Amino acid sequence: MPSNVKEKLAAANAVVPRLQPSEVQSMLNREDVLILDVRDGPEVEASAKIKGAVNVSRGMLEFRADPESPYHDPAFRKDKTVVIYCASGGRSALAVQTLKSLGYTNVAHLDGGLKSWTEQGRPVSQETP
């Protein structure tokens, strides 16, 4: 069992599926895909996000993803592919594990997060959360 954040991230990264920015870009605008930004609201407001992404901070993820929760977000459906990203990939790896523990089966994260996305010149939006 991991005893610190570094170990927890290493354990998550060892088992969490990663997608490259080119793979994620090809999934944009698909009805069967949810692109999920797990950064905090102020972080999103200070930068940008992938166009069409739903922003749910990692701290609220379980509440938004669980259909039994009064805070459930209908964008979350277990029959969708969920692609998660954060700033650089740490929180999104942990978020993948969280969704898998809630019964989501087709979940991956953007390798390198929004940082790798923007470094490759991929499109972002200034939409607010």
Question: Model-level pTM greater than 0.75?
Answer: yes
**pLDDT higher than 90, residue 8:** no
**Mind listing the pLDDT tens digit for each residue in 69-120?**
999 999 999 999 999 999 999 999 999 999 999 999 999 999 999 999 999 9
Domain ranges across the chain = 5-119
Q: What is the mean pLDDT of the chain?
A: 93
Query: CATH assignment of 5-119, given 1.10.8.60, 3.40.50.720, 3.40.250.10, 1.10.10.10?
Result: 3.40.250.10
Q: What is residue 127's predicted lDDT score, i.e. its pLDDT?
A: 64
Q: What is residue 98's predicted lDDT score, i.e. its pLDDT?
A: 95
Give the C-alpha separation, 64 to 58, whole Å: 10
Give the C-alpha separation, 86 to 99, whole Å: 15
- What are the two backbone dihedrals, phi and then psi, of residue 32, each rounded to the nearest 5 degrees? -95, 15
